[in-house]
């Protein structure tokens, strides 16, 4: 193996580690604090949250929700669909519910959001990171960051320990 190749190998691994250390610290912190991560998939909240952003969301008591607050809720019209839009008012009626709208939308969302469908509020966001982390979920993270380096490690061990071929000594004449 040439010295130049060894230099490249060291640089690449150093870059990977420098990237992974803060990413791991970030994910572990999110997990420990009980937050959730959400990938922005549509432009309804542009330019506040561009497509591909990563939203860090935390729980909130629906009674503490205020007008202007971006909240995460389950779409009242499509069970299971998670939406992040801004609260623009309280819906009329006895039940606590909110009128919501995407920053880029001309009209309010068609159905009020009952308090029971509120899943949290947006704490902060990171542009582009949503696409990266979305791509890096299981099983890609395991294959790319565990299986591949593990295979490289085994390959290196095998090359290091295999018996080396040496040319037979020429018979003395």
Partner 1 sequence: MARHSLRIVIVLGMLITLVGGTGIFAVFSDRATTGPSDVTTTALGKAADLKIAAAQPQDPMNSGPFMCADFVDDLSTPLFDFTASTGSGDERFLCVRNDGSSAVDLTTSAIDIVDTDTACTGDEAAFGDTTCGEDATTMVPQQGELSPNLTIETDLYDCSTGSGVGQVGVPDLSSALATLGSTPEALGSLPPGGSICVRFRVFWRATGDAAQVSQSDEATWRFAFDGTVPSN
User: Which residues sit at the interface with partner 1, rule CB under 8 A?
Assistant: 6, 9-10, 13-14, 16-17, 20-21, 23-24, 27-28, 30-31, 35-39, 42-44, 57, 72, 74-75, 77-83, 85, 88-89, 92-95, 99, 101-102, 104-111, 119, 133-134, 136-138, 141-142, 144-146, 149-150, 152-153, 156-157
* Least distance from partner 1 to the Cβ atom of residue 167, Å: 29
Could you list the beta-strand ranges (E) of the chain. 36-39, 54-58, 70-74, 82-90, 97-101, 113-114, 118-126
Q: Are 89 and 66 in contact (CB under 8 A)?
A: no
Q: Smaller CB distance to partner 1: residue 43 or 62? A: 43
Q: How many other CB atoms are there within 10 angstroms of residue 121's CB atom?
A: 21
Residue nearer to partner 1 on the CB measure, 5 or 165: 5
Nearer to partner 1, 94 or 168 (CB): 94
Tell me how far apart the alpha carbons of residues 100 and 112 are, in angstroms, rounded to a whole number.
Answer: 7
CA R_g for the chain? 26
Q: Nearest distance from residue 19's CB to partner 1, in Å?
A: 9
Least distance to partner 1, CB of residue 155, Å: 10
**Closest CB to partner 1 among 161 and 166?**
161
- What whole-number distance in Å separates Cα of residue 173 and Cα of residue 167? 18
Least distance CB 154 / partner 1 (angstroms): 10
Q: Are the C-beta atoms of residues 39 and 130 closer than 8 Å to each other?
A: yes
Cα separation values, 62 from 58, 78, 92, 99, Å? 12, 20, 16, 13
Judged by beta carbon, residue 68 or residue 171, the one nearer partner 1 is 68
> How near is the Cβ of 97 to partner 1 at its closest, in Å?
9
Q: How far is CA 26 from CA 12, 95, 171, in A?
A: 22, 38, 66
């Amino acid at each position: 193996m040439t010295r130049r190749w060894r230099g490249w190998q060291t640089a690449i691994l150093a870059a990977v580690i420098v990237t992974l250390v803060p990413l791991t610290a970030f994910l572990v912190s999110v997990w420990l604090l009980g937050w959730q991560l959400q990938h922005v998939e549509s432009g309804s909240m542009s330019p506040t949250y561009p497509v591909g952003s990563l939203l860090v969301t935390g729980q909130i008591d629906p009674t503490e929700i205020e007008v202007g607050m971006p909240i995460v809720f389950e779409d009242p019209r499509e069970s299971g669909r998670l939406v992040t839009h801004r609260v623009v008012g309280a819906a009329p009626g006895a039940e606590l519910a909110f009128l919501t709208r995407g920053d880029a939308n001309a009209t309010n969302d068609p159905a009020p959001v009952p308090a029971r469908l509120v899943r949290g509020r947006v704490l902060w966001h990171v542009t582009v990171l949503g696409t990266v982390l979305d791509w890096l979920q299981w099983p890609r993270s395991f294959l790319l960051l565990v299986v591949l380096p593990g295979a490289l490690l085994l390959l290196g061990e095998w090359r290091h320990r295999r018996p080396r071929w040496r040319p037979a000594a020429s018979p003395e004449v």
